[in-house]
Amino acid sequence: MIDRDLIKRALAEDLAGGEDITSVATVSGSEKVVADFVARKAGVLAGIEMAKTVLEEVGLSDIEVLVHDGSAIEAGTVLMTVRGDTRAILLAERTALNFLGHLSGIATLTRTWVDSISGTSCLIRDTRKTTPGMRQLEKYAVRMGGGTNHRMSLSDAALIKDNHIAAAGGVSKAFSKVREKFPATEIEIEVDTLDQLREVIPLKPDLVLLDNMNPAQCREAVALVSASIKLEASGGISLENSKSYAETGVNYLAIGALTHSAPVLDIGLDMRVE
């Protein structure tokens, strides 16, 4: 996935209307080098096409992508090689690595969560807790790690939460208002207790979000809906207890940390002369 406008803004931000004073001072402008993008740590790759497009944006064209998004990589793996103007490579270096490291970090963390619930039918799903302006890319990285996406925007589906219920005057009124105004839209309702779940079951929402319920409560919720409504667990879930939640029979685990807390995967650029 590529966001060219974001790349342009990132490069412009790095130059801030000026020039790369260090490279202009130390590199004559005629040098040609080879540079390898190298994984310093093992993980899952995402963002290689973004990094490649950054290189192209500064005028480089001799670029060889060696590993593709979604691939598991080991420390020391050469991901991409670029040949060309030294100044151009140095100009693109940090921006390309920022995208590559950030998106690969999300894919890597997602894969860890996916592996933690292996053997179950449950899916790991992201949230809208994304970096402003980078939602499409970050959710793409989640998919590269084996996760699945929740709604991309507020216009994709309805999620009726406590504040909506309060504003509408009750859960039934909130549901009816959404169904009346957007009859073809998927509706999800958030509940905090099993009593609230019993109240919303007759409404037949497409999905119910079980907020901050423990595994025992989630298991009871699964029994209550009897597969008639999809269930998503959210809150209080960690890697350590994720399988306990997944084994209850819920359809999804909603994990905001996939995008808001993923550590950057360490990837570097090594320059050499052929």
Give the pLDDT score at 121: 97
Considering the domain architecture, whether residues 132 and 248 belong to the same structural domain is answered as yes
119 and 255 assigned to the same domain:
yes
Q: Please check whether residues 84 and 124 belong to one and the same domain.
A: no
- Residues 179, 243: one domain? yes
| Pair 24, 93 in one domain | yes
Task: Clarify whether 211 is annotated catalytic.
Answer: yes
Neighbours of 90 (CB within 10 A): 20
Query: What digits encode the pLDDT tens for the residues 83-141?
Result: 999 999 999 999 999 999 999 999 999 999 999 999 999 999 999 999 999 999 999 99
In tens, the pLDDT along 206-241 reads 999 999 999 999 999 999 999 999 999 999 999 999
129 and 224 fall within a common domain: yes
CA–CA separation, 191 and 199 (whole Å): 9
Q: Is 32 a catalytic residue?
A: no
Beta bridge partners of 38: 78, 268
CATH of the domain at 196: 3.20.20.70
In a shared domain, residues 82 and 122: no
131 and 214, same domain (yes or no) = yes
**Same-domain pairing of 69 and 120:** no
Burial class (CB in 10 A: 0-12, 13-18, 19+), 232: buried
- Among 129, 151, 177, 230, the one annotated catalytic: 129
Catalytic pick among 128, 151, 161, 230: 161
The total number of structural domains that make up the chain = 2
Q: Is the pLDDT of residue 197 over 90?
A: yes
Over residues 150-185, the pLDDT tens digits come to: 999 999 999 999 899 999 998 889 999 999 999 999
Residues 122 and 17 in one domain: no
For the chain, counts of helices (H) and of strands (E) = 11, 12
Residues 86 and 138 in one domain: no
Q: Report the candidate in 97, 135, 99, 116 with the shortest Cα–Cα distance to residue 256.
A: 135
Give the Å distances, CA to CA, from 269 to 1, 15, 72, 92, 208. 21, 19, 19, 11, 46
User: Range of 101's domain?
Assistant: 4-113+263-272
**Based on the domain organization, do 120 and 251 belong to the same domain?**
yes
Interval 238-268: pLDDT, tens:
999 999 999 999 999 999 999 999 999 999 9
The helix/strand/coil state of 4 is: helix
> Catalytic one among 41, 83, 94, 219?
94
User: Can 161 be counted among the known catalytic residues?
Assistant: yes
Give, in degrees to the nearest 5, the angle at Cα 118 between 117 and 123. Answer: 60
pLDDT in tens, 15-48: 999 999 999 998 888 889 999 999 999 999 999 9
Write the CATH number for 15. 3.90.1170.20
CA pair distance 197, 16, nearest whole angstrom: 53
**177 catalytic, yes or no?**
no
